[in-house]
């Protein structure tokens, strides 16, 4: 596993307003960095910059590294950063198994299917390979979405308000499942809710950055 490192990141809106200036941080494997701050402070823009999908109207400078590999100029699909959003974006025309198969690489079809079955069992979703995503509960959809992200073998995990659409009971269950599943990865979490932040996390308040 590799450390995720951001060096001297600056993000500026087209109107000249700075979202962040000269921001640097490191996130080690197993560490969670929680990004907080008011709406418009640049939290989601920072994640978009990390993944290479930032709005081209924003002026961005800085470097992002994963271990000894610089990701700054790599296309999104080669950065190996897993992203989970508030909406799960499961493909409605695919079964649960096909959703999880999407992005899996290597091995035979049988080996990929076995891996999917093991992950579903770990998530208390055993036997749901052929289920229509529309028949899943909110908590089940959240777990399938996280599994799909993890099955792509990311080297770091980026979470943008991933728990906010769940009721209180499900929210706590999915939090625990997420932190257990991502325990060996560097994780960057965007949230407005301090209850989403695990005890081991560091907090970076973008609303208070210079």
For 107-162, the pLDDT digits (tens) are: 788 888 999 999 899 888 999 999 999 999 888 888 898 899 888 889 999 999 88
Nearest Cα to Cα of residue 102 among 170, 152, 48, 28: 152
Q: According to the model, what pLDDT value does residue 106 have?
A: 73
- The span from the CA of 82 to the CA of 153, in Å, is 8
Q: According to the model, what pLDDT value does residue 81 have?
A: 95
Q: According to the model, what pLDDT value does residue 67 have?
A: 94
CA 174 to chain centre: 14
Supply 124's token pair.
């208390």
Assign 16 to helix, strand or coil.
coil
Q: According to the model, what pLDDT value does residue 129 have?
A: 93
Q: According to the model, what pLDDT value does residue 169 have?
A: 78
Q: pTM (2 decimals)?
A: 0.88
- The span from the CA of 158 to the CA of 149, in Å, is 10
Nearest Cα to Cα of residue 60 among 138, 7, 129: 7
Given a contact cutoff of 8 angstroms between Cβ atoms, the answer to whether 189 and 201 are in contact is yes
- The span from the CA of 91 to the CA of 102, in Å, is 10
**Cβ-based neighbours of 136, under 8 Å, separated by 6 or more:** 96, 128, 144
- The span from the CA of 114 to the CA of 109, in Å, is 9
Buried b (16+ CB within 10 A) or exposed e, 191-208: beeeebbeeebeebebee
Which positions of the chain have pLDDT values less than 50?
none
């Amino acid at each position: 596993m590799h450390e995720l490192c951001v060096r001297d990141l600056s993000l500026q809106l087209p109107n000249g307003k700075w979202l962040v200036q000269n921001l640097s941080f490191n996130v080690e494997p197993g560490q969670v960095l929680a990004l907080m701050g008011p709406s418009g402070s640049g939290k989601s823009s920072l994640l978009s910059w990390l993944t290479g999908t930032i709005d081209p109207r924003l002026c961005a400078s800085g470097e992002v590294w994963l271990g000894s590999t610089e990701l700054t100029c790599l296309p999104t699909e080669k950065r190996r950063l897993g992203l989970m959003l508030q909406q799960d974006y499961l493909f409605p025309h695919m079964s649960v198994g096909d959703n999880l198969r999407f992005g899996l690489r290597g091995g035979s079809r049988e080996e990929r299917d076995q891996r999917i079955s093991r992950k579903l069992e770990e998530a208390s979703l055993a036997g749901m390979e052929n289920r229509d995503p529309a028949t899943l509960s909110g908590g089940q959809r959240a777990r399938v979405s996280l599994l799909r992200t993890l099955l792509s073998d990311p080297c770091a995990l980026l979470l943008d308000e991933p728990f906010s659409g769940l009721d209180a009971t499900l929210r706590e269950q999915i939090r625990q499942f997420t932190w257990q599943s991502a325990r060996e990865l560097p994780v960057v979490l965007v949230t407005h809710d301090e209850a989403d932040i695990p005890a081991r996390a560091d907090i970076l308040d973008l609303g208070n950055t210079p």
